[in-house]
């Protein structure tokens, strides 16, 4: 396992109480740290990756909680639904205009929770995402933070092949940067991440 996802989920649920809230969950097509059965009033799962959302919908159906979960295959900027909180899960830095996404989120809900990488994290260097993460962090600072917690974990890989499989989609820079681990086993890369309330 690359990192301790249970720990990330625990950090999230301690940081913000999603109980009985209508949650617009942006980036819900990935590995969900906010479980759809976490006591929300309604979870609106938003992602433009329709295939990943199909998998989420199947998991929701298997748990029998489809009445409290709505799946929306769309770009976030096209969503016009409202709720109590917009929750971005490791995706704000991927958006073309983080400031615009935050402004749109504020029009949809009173609270915004952003779970994402921290600038300067060694892991985002190897993923070649440092510029994206820095831009989204600056957008949050300009927008105005009401709360922040920072955390540290590690990305762990049995060997270079597993690491390469994880970063390959990030492109040639990420592949080049991770080549220093070629032939290595039990690879450990520090990862810093944070939760922000806006």
C-alpha 77/C-alpha 35 separation (Å) is 23
pLDDT of residue 62: 63
pLDDT of residue 3: 64
What is the DSSP pairing of strand 185-197 with strand 111-117? antiparallel
pLDDT of residue 7: 87
pLDDT of residue 37: 65
pLDDT of residue 33: 75
User: Which stretches of the chain drop beneath a pLDDT of 50?
Assistant: 1
C-alpha 105/C-alpha 87 separation (Å) is 9
pLDDT of residue 195: 97
pTM: 0.90
Closest CA to 127 of 189, 196, 47: 189
What residues form DSSP beta bridges with 89? Answer: 115
Q: Which two tokens stand for residue 151?
A: 């955390």
Burial (0-12, 13-18, 19+ Cβ within 10 Å), 38: middle
Give me the domains of the chain, ranges plus CATH numbers: 5-120+128-154+193-197 (3.40.50.150)
pLDDT of residue 121: 95
C-alpha 70/C-alpha 90 separation (Å) is 20
Contact 197, 148 (CB under 8 A): yes
pLDDT of residue 34: 78
């Amino acid at each position: 396992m690359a990192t301790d996802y249970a720990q990330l989920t625990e950090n999230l649920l301690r940081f913000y109480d999603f109980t009985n809230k209508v949650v617009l969950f942006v980036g819900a097509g990935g590995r969900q740290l906010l479980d759809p059965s976490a006591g929300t009033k309604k979870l609106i799962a938003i992602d433009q990756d329709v295939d990943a959302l199909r998998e989420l919908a199947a998991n929701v159906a298997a748990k029998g909680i489809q009445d409290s979960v709505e799946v929306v295959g769309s770009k976030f900027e096209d969503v016009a639904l409202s709720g109590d909180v917009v929750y971005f899960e490791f995706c704000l830095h991927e958006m073309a205009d983080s400031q615009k996404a935050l402004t749109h989120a504020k029009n949809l809900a009173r609270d915004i929770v952003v779970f994402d990488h921290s600038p300067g994290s060694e892991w985002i260097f190897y993923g070649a995402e440092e510029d994206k993460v820095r831009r989204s962090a600056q957008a949050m600072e300009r927008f105005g933070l009401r709360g922040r917690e920072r955390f540290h974990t590690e990305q762990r890989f049995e060997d270079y092949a597993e690491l390469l499989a994880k970063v390959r989609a990030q492109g040639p820079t990420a592949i080049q940067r991770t080549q220093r681990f070629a032939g290595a086993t039990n690879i450990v890369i520090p990862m810093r991440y944070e939760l922000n309330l806006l």
